């Protein structure tokens, strides 16, 4: 059995565009919105209804209603732990190298010299993007 379908290009494009439009309309109706920022989420999820109190989340805007600014992570990198509050690390670091050597310049007594090199402090941060940390009330 051989089936052949001969469509002109304009009919194919029309059918394809109609199918995409119909599927988009069905999706908007099914999810109840055409706003891409909340597409597929209920109003409770968007408002934070599904997020437990005390959750700490990063935002690219100011904290929304129902959230409080969490400054505990300002200028810090989060590190997982069983408890909260441990701190460590530093914003800058230095490198120090110490070397000693002995020399016999005049064929007589040996002289020992010690040299120390310290490189000025520098930032330890790789490239980054700042975010706003907020805690769910």
3-state secondary structure 77-94: CCCCCCCCCCCCCCCEEE
Determine the Cα–Cα distance for residues 23 and 28; give it in Å rounded to an integer. 9
Determine the Cα–Cα distance for residues 136 and 47; give it in Å rounded to an integer. 11
Whole-structure pTM value: 0.46
Determine the Cα–Cα distance for residues 112 and 116; give it in Å rounded to an integer. 14
Distance between first and last Cα of the chain: 67
pLDDT surpasses 60 at 35: yes
* Domain map (residue ranges) of the chain: 7-36, 50-78+129-137
Q: What is the pLDDT of residues 75-125, one digit of tens each?
A: 888 888 888 888 887 777 777 777 776 666 666 666 666 777 777 677 667
Sheet of strand 132-136, all strands in order from the earlier edge strand to the far edge: 56-59, 132-136, 67-69
Within the chain, what is the greatest distance between any pair of CA atoms?
107
Residue among 88, 103, 94 at smallest CA distance from 123: 94
Determine the Cα–Cα distance for residues 77 and 81; give it in Å rounded to an integer. 13
pLDDT (0 to 100) of residue 39: 59
3-state secondary structure of 103: strand
Q: What is the pLDDT of residues 37-87, one digit of tens each?
A: 555 555 555 555 578 888 898 888 899 888 999 998 888 888 888 888 888
Contact between residue 96 and residue 125 where contact means Cβ atoms under 8 Å apart: no
């Amino acid at each position: 059995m051989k089936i052949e379908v001969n469509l002109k290009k304009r009919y194919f494009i029309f059918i394809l565009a109609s199918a995409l439009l119909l599927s988009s309309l069905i999706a908007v109706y099914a999810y109840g919105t055409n706003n891409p920022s909340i597409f597929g989420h209920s109003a409770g999820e968007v408002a934070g209804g599904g997020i437990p109190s005390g959750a700490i989340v990063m935002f690219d805007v100011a904290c929304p209603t129902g959230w409080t600014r969490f400054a505990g992570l300002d200028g810090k990198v989060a590190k997982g732990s069983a408890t909260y509050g441990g701190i460590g690390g530093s914003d800058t670091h230095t490198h120090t190298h110490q070397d000693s050597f002995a020399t016999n310049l005049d064929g007589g007594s040996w002289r020992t010299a010690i040299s120390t090199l310290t490189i000025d402090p520098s930032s330890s941060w790789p490239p980054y993007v700042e975010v706003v940390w907020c805690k769910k009330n």
